Amino acid sequence: MMTQSDLFEGRRRRDAGKALVATSEPEAWRQAVHNLGETYLRRMPSGRDFSAEDVRAYCEEAVPQPHHPNAWSATIGALLKQWKAKGEIQSAGATEAKRPSSHARLLRRYVRS
């Protein structure tokens, strides 16, 4: 039987893994992705929905691929968490990932406030 402490431990391990993979990328790469993501979000009209996959596609046009694909979700996820905390974006359900390597997993959707 799963307990609430199992959920907390799972989240702790997820966050530790994201931090590890993100910090193994050069600071210049992380900053470039952050800045490009900020630009993407600022240009988005109010009321439009999107996912982290959309932000990644925008960033991929300007930065090289990281050493590990999880660096994308760690870096973009941190940016989206900041914007959500500021009330700039809100959760708007979920969608299936389109990228074949993502195996149609569920992605959160967001809407620009």
Mean pLDDT of successive 10-residue stretches along the chain, which has 113 residues: 74 78 86 98 96 97 92 94 97 92 90 95
* Short-list 111, 98, 106, CA closest to 50: 111
What's the whole-model pTM score?
0.84
- Residue 62's pLDDT is 97
Q: How far is Cα 34 from Cα 30, in angstroms, rounded to an integer?
A: 6
**Beta strand ranges found along the chain (DSSP E):** 49-51, 89-96, 106-112
